[in-house]
Structure 1
Amino acid sequence: MPDISLSGRSLVAGSAQGELLYSDVGLSFWGGVDPFSGEIIDRHHPLWGEVLAHRVLAIPSGRGSCTGSSVLLELILNGHAPAALVFEHVDDILTLGVLIAEQMFHRSIPVMCVGREGFAALRDVRYVQIEAGLLSGFSQPQLMPEVPAVAVYTPVLPSTITLNCRDRELLEGGHGKAAQVAMHIILRIAELQGATELLDITQAHIDGCIYTGPASLRFAQQLVAWGANVSVPTTLNSISVDKRRWREQGIDVALGVPASQLGDAYLAMGAKVSFTCAPYLLDSAPKAGEQIVWAESNAVVYANSV
């Protein structure tokens, strides 16, 4: 019998088991987790030096950069991801990384939100099994049935969001596969946030052009291969290298080539040459009252306040 049993909100369905890695301090995956090994490299975090791979990670939520979703995508695709994520609060950024892995690459891990009391009850748990939205915690290792290392992908469409005619066309593939897959991801996130409808936007700013590893490039190039094109004016965050001068600056080709290719992929989708983390300083800065979609942490703060 388990020492504790918790039911919570399943953000991404799946089954998993493993040693529990618990902290009551949020963790930024961007800058806090090595995307190639899963080691926690934030020296100020209580879990510094621990390795996430194949363990169930329980944290209140993520912390910090939008790029955390890209780091988690890297970990899922390279086999160094946690076996599952357990949150106290719903975390959109990290859950997005899992949803992209699921929707685009048919790889996934379960993600659960168990609330304040449930999360506190995990403090002294050492081993966890997640199955059908139920979390079982144990103080000793258990002889538990093996569960798939990769969750079986089953498309889930939310039923709580009102869609207009164009929304349905996108969802049904009428504007190409890239738009269809993007619509699936948008609807899953919208459901997590409790949205009931979608809004038209006037512009976007993409944070995903930071190179976190092969998965970030694979993501963008897959969208290009599926015929993706931006549908509103779109600017790009700064990339990981100087696009024109990285060779003369002595940047290793192992970083320079894929980082530059990542920028090229977004340009191929019709984004503007901007490469800035301060889109509010461009001539295209939005006016009060516009609905926009901006990623990049400081740009989000600016957009939501100014």
Structure 2
Amino acid sequence: MKEFAEYISDGIVQCKIVRKDSGKIDIVAIYANKQSEAITGRPVEEILNKGMTEVYPVIVDSIFNWPQILSEAAMTSDHKIIEQYVTGIEKYVRFSIFGFKDDTFYLAMQDLTEQKQAKKLQLEKNREIKFLENELKSRANVDPLTKLYNFQFINECIKSSVTNYKEEGINFCLITIDIDDFKKINLLFGMQKADIMLQDVAKILSSNARKIDVVGRYGNDKFTIILNNVDLDIAKIMMERIKMEIENYSLNYESKLSICCSIVEYEGETIEQFIERSESLLKKAQSIGKGIILS
């Protein structure tokens, strides 16, 4: 083995098992090739004929009893591979243990530290990419101010509800809500307070929606709710409750906050016709006055 050891890239050390009077085992290097220096961190002459615990006293207090581990592996197996981070060497090493005879055996050592670090870095990058993908997906579906679903996602949900209606006969209603005098609110209180008001309205809508419903921001001061598996009468009751809660919301100015809204039940028309029916009914409600619900 020794005649070939200088021609291979692995660090090769021939070890002798030494049993101390205390009963503990140590291993002494009786041969080491030049390549072993890069892994052991010591010149060959500094490790020859010395016990492992003498060269690396830090391993005495390590949770890994390396002289014991390596010796038992040599004595109980023709060829054993152990991969582990080794304190003292401060490297992640692959030990190939073989050739046990007369209390001596060979260690072939490979430094896997960079390889393990590269895997860790790749894992970190993969997790970062996954996080960014999830973040982008979230931003693609959610309005950043109100945290409600955005216009694009609402349209996809309407399509899904239409499919459920056609395939399973599941009714659904679309509520479109517009805040009365929102431009005036912006002028009187400024954009920052107006944004807070939009966020509060969004919370009211979300708190009144069921898990199967979809709540979204449909425009600047316009919101929408898709009420799944309900008919028009139930939708009216739910909307009246929401309207009362919004009207009781305190904006700290002279008049109460009010909304106009339309409620339409899907009747099998095209999606474009359905949305247009909702928009037209909302405009009619606004033309009548403040706080009007039409269905």
TM-score scaled by structure 1?
0.18
Greater strand share, structure number: 2
Greater helix share, structure number: 2
Of structures 1 and 2, the one scoring higher in RCO (CA 8 A, sep 6+) is 1
